[in-house]
Structure 1
């Protein structure tokens, strides 16, 4: 299993572990952005999150959730399920302008 990218440690695209490159490595992993996107509104149980993600395999979802928890972007509350941490919510807020840009880009012609 691949290790969770951490600033200061080598990552795809950066031998020095620049934080921006490490973040792109983390977010570029299969299903990662979809999981974060599905958690943007509320906490979800594992089953609900899996369904929201189009039935991603349980092993991949477990791996991604572990990476997100290790990165401090997602937390697990036994009663409510998985949710974005304040840091994860801030990341989502910062990504929303990209979503808006992509919509304008898609309509360009």
Structure 2
């Protein structure tokens, strides 16, 4: 990418990184004009001052316009959201991955002692059962630091 292209991307990202800017654009994505109050409700938990500031910035950038019916996306704003439309499909897949990741047990680090059962208190010896191997004792000469069960 050329320096001019990098500058343009950086400038656009700076605009979109502003708090609630993408949410304002996203709220207008359906093509229906929204009044200030409706837009505030659509974005959710945005103060009137912040919404006013974002609308002003997005209007100056040529992404949002104001007409008799309220605020709507300009042709450039529609083009931007069309290019970001894959975001919704990606977000769905990403969220499923996050749920699966959270549900899966964390893999043990190579050479780490097996984790103590969740029901045992920190520092208390794990109950011994015939099928569960006992954890090796850590000694000062060990090359790996002991695993802190609190982490």
- So what's the TM-score if we normalise by structure 1? 0.80
Q: How far did residue 99 of structure 1 move?
A: 2.2
Task: Tell me which of 69, 77, 85 is aligned to 1:88.
Answer: 77
Q: For residue 18 of structure 1, give the secondary structure of its aligned residue in structure 2.
A: helix
The residue number in structure 2 matching 1:45 is 35
Structure with the bigger RCO (C-alpha within 8 Å, sep 6+) is 1
The residue number in structure 1 matching 2:47 is 57
Q: Aligned pair 1:71/2:61, yes or no?
A: yes
Distance 2:43 2:87 in 1: 20
Distance 1:105 1:49 in 2: 27
Distance 1:48 1:19 in 2: 31
Task: Tell me which of 73, 81, 101 is aligned to 2:90.
Answer: 101
Q: How far did residue 55 of structure 1 move?
A: 4.0
The residue number in structure 2 matching 1:29 is 18
Question: Following TM superposition, where does structure 1 have runs of at least 4 consecutive aligned residues deviating by more than 4 angstroms?
Answer: none
Q: For residue 43 of structure 1, give the secondary structure of its aligned residue in structure 2.
A: coil
The residue number in structure 2 matching 1:4 is none
Aligned length, in residue pairs: 93
**Aligned-residue CA RMSD in angstroms?**
1.4
Structure 2 regions of 5+ residues with no counterpart? 101-151
Distance 1:91 1:40 in 2: 10
Structure 1 regions of 5+ residues with no counterpart? 1-7, 9-16
